Structure 1
């Protein structure tokens, strides 16, 4: 398994727990249901394997109390882009998930690939082995009695994989590096060989269409830059300022980190829609065994967009969605006519620009600017209202949300989401299927909620999607009053008034459709 180096995790704001573990046997997966880390505040933690990938998706489960009303369908919660399960369960007194389970619903939060406790198993073994071979130099330093020491290649490294070299260091003469031309050539061949093998895997189907050559070219350029650095270093590195061994291994490690990011963060919206969500739904149905084989679902932001896309995709093909009812919170398939702040993503519409930014460390960026938004002189205070309206969240919970709920996302995902701001609205990765065009074919009841001060998904954006659905199946409501309180993007999920004003409205809808269409 390609594992991010701890320093890199720290740099991009991804806790080590997000990338822990490897593929497990069915017995191990069963055991992991009750074996959860302290960061998971759910009753149970489950893992779901995703077909055609090595991702294991984390599912946080909240079991209903014994005295709660009996329900017929489990409830699936889907969160926004670049977020984990924390937003649905901030604290015992501010928990969307706990409230739903207290009302009798067996509640599950999905953490998609790259989010929260979801992990990736062993993948691309050929690349993995090559990266490890290069990055693990196996250099051992032997200190000698006369004050001299030698640095040699460790015996456990394959001599055919790495160039042989020896560095002698003495107190009187400083460092003398013997690294002849033939050995540099072998190092260059090793690095470029890794680059070619990785590029070959990409071209065999890891990415789609024109993206193959773009990413392959990026990897080749990266490899050549590393070789140039090493060659220049042999001519210019001064022993008074840098130890060659440390310098060399640092460059190799940087190279490995960048390759891992390019390979690991390689998914888009359609991966969530076609792989992650169906795998999770099948798992929940197998565990809960609803009589009609359906679930109820609530999606916030991107989560609601995924649910709309499911209704559209299945409706266009005349397939059953497996959903008894859907609630969307601040979601739309078409933002073209709204003044959404998400238009900040539009620069990513240029593919070349997107490929130059393979990942977007949303969590790190928000954590970095949070002090500027929450403390005098409040230079970036306008960022706060994108998340929650004034006085709608306790400051400590708001801080917990900002610092713990957001993750790193691939530029490829954001690139596809920018189509929601273009003519026709959100489309699939091929650019030929526009999700909003087939919403009228759905037969699933939908409750669409909006916040009056939601600057990410304004009410008019929500309505752009709602108006396309059969009128007898959709209910639309905007929360917020002219004189307050007001609701911003997250407030529908976890504000101080949500349990009083929003949750009961959702429960009424879910209860109605939990009882309908049973065999």
Structure 2
């Protein structure tokens, strides 16, 4: 995701973290004057200017946490329990939300009228959305030890002295990162990537695999006039912009296990330390790959005899094994061998979807089947669907997709070595799980969700499919932000979490 981000904030200096605090009295608003708070060495606080509210960040606080032994710093969007939650039972555990593959936090807070995160905060949950490496506002090589010019596009380099060190002046500054929505470098210092020179071979390889993606999409269509289906031309226009970020793209060298073993544990530890639940546990909800990560964490902990760290989890459209379903993700399987053979570093999913979306959402709807991959007909307002597709998807490493394709092979998802099958140990888990499916989810059909849920002891799992024969129907994203979720899905999740929010 890359959106012009003109909202800069004041920073204090410390070692490894950053937080932008909005005014909790005004949901989504920004406080106008510095509000200094005492912080741990890992946290770095500041305030945003009220003159320009960020078009990207819509939470109450933006936290950053560094990943040990990595150059990545992860973004955590925090939504404080809202005034509407007063009178409800006090929640004992913070709530962690994990997003799907190649997506960012926007999907959980699409608009004030369609916000999963805001709903949960209104129910009294201290809600945190994690953006894993490469997604949204997470950054590469953000040096907190020497904060003088933390954002490379800041115009004013003057500094003032605060109570915790040096921080940039709060005078108005801007950051213009361009217009295309595939990739976010709004907080990245591009100077740190000068040692990486553009490699035309990599660009050629990315173009080749991207062409294969275009071919896959076009094969799903009946012949149409060339003037209406210029997907290839549209995509490679985006790719020209995409290539400008090659210095950062070549750093995209991670897989699913990096999220599992490094990103999620770092975020959990940060939230635990910040919120201090008495038993050290969290509640968690994962959509799509976010739910897969939660299942995989339970399995890993079972195999190693470790504490789970969760009091309960809920998964939305997630499975460790897609072999028994007719998941549309099988369209990605032809990419596995070419990507591996060419050693392509990344797959620009966001750029592709941005290029194809106008042909899917507007007359004559030649790629209308793409929209059904996201949402069932009539479940998402067209403007919200536009916002989701154009701003929620990112570039991902080919290695990540290659590992995820093992979920379509016998035995289901496995680790990078190919020897550990994540579904094998779920039967030993005693963490309560709520597994939700959408009746018209083409990406993770109900039978795929059930394939994983059935592995868990009946005493610790509940499985439910949303959607009725005559409607409403639920697609892959509709479990998070469809028009009926506030009446049907959210209360189900809240009741489950509340029942298991015990010390």
CA distance in 2 between partners of 1:367 and 1:352 (Å):
21
Aligned to 2:122: 102
CA contact (8 A) 2:12 2:45 kept: no
SS at match of 1:73: coil
CA distance in 1 between partners of 2:410 and 2:17 (Å):
47
- Superposition pairs of residues 41-440 of structure 1, within 5 angstroms: 41-66=58-83, 67=86, 69=88, 70-121=90-141, 258=246, 260-262=248-250, 264-350=251-337, 353=340, 355-440=342-427
CA distance in 1 between partners of 2:500 and 2:17 (Å):
36
CA contact (8 A) 2:353 2:389 kept: yes
Please state how far the C-alpha of 1:97 moved relative to its aligned partner: 0.3
User: Structure 1 residues 313, 367: CA separation in 2 closer, same or farther (over 3 Å shift)?
Assistant: same
Aligned to 1:26: 15
Q: What's the RMSD between the two structures over aligned residues?
A: 3.0
CA contact (8 A) 1:387 1:489 kept: yes
Please state how far the C-alpha of 1:345 moved relative to its aligned partner: 1.5
Q: Which runs of 5+ in 2 are unaligned?
A: 19-42, 144-192, 206-240
CA distance in 1 between partners of 2:467 and 2:317 (Å):
13
User: Structure 1 residues 393, 257: CA separation in 2 closer, same or farther (over 3 Å shift)?
Assistant: closer
CA contact (8 A) 1:33 1:47 kept: no
Please state how far the C-alpha of 1:257 moved relative to its aligned partner: 5.5
CA contact (8 A) 1:357 1:411 kept: yes
Please state how far the C-alpha of 1:348 moved relative to its aligned partner: 2.8
**TM-score normalised per structure 1:** 0.69
Larger-gyration structure (1/2): 1
Q: In the TM superposition, what whole-angstrom CA distance separates every residue of 1:311-338 from its partner, at most 9, and x where no partner exists?
A: 0000111111100000000000000111
Q: In the TM superposition, what whole-angstrom CA distance separates every residue of 1:191-222 from its partner, at most 9, and x where no partner exists?
A: xxx9xx989xxxxxxxxxxxxxxxx9977x99
Please state how far the C-alpha of 1:17 moved relative to its aligned partner: 5.5
CA distance in 2 between partners of 1:451 and 1:346 (Å):
23
CA distance in 2 between partners of 1:329 and 1:254 (Å):
31
Q: Which runs of 5+ in 1 are unaligned?
A: 1-12, 124-193, 200-215, 223-252
Aligned to 1:445: 432
Please state how far the C-alpha of 1:353 moved relative to its aligned partner: 4.0
**TM-score normalised per structure 2:** 0.71
Q: In the TM superposition, what whole-angstrom CA distance separates every residue of 1:6-42 from its partner, at most 9, and x where no partner exists?
A: xxxxxxx644759x99997338724445448442100
CA distance in 2 between partners of 1:358 and 1:375 (Å):
32
Q: In the TM superposition, what whole-angstrom CA distance separates every residue of 1:296-325 from its partner, at most 9, and x where no partner exists?
A: 000000000000000000011111110000
CA distance in 1 between partners of 2:13 and 2:478 (Å):
38
SS at match of 2:347: strand
Please state how far the C-alpha of 1:398 moved relative to its aligned partner: 1.1
CA distance in 1 between partners of 2:81 and 2:374 (Å):
29
SS at match of 2:494: helix
2:462 to 457, 475, 478: 475
CA distance in 2 between partners of 1:406 and 1:68 (Å):
37
User: Structure 1 residues 313, 351: CA separation in 2 closer, same or farther (over 3 Å shift)?
Assistant: farther
Q: In the TM superposition, what whole-angstrom CA distance separates every residue of 1:408-447 from its partner, at most 9, and x where no partner exists?
A: 1111110110000011110000101000011111110000
User: Structure 1 residues 481, 56: CA separation in 2 closer, same or farther (over 3 Å shift)?
Assistant: same
Please state how far the C-alpha of 1:344 moved relative to its aligned partner: 1.2
CA distance in 1 between partners of 2:78 and 2:350 (Å):
24
Please state how far the C-alpha of 1:407 moved relative to its aligned partner: 0.9
Q: How many residues align?
A: 385
CA distance in 1 between partners of 2:329 and 2:346 (Å):
17
CA contact (8 A) 2:5 2:56 kept: no
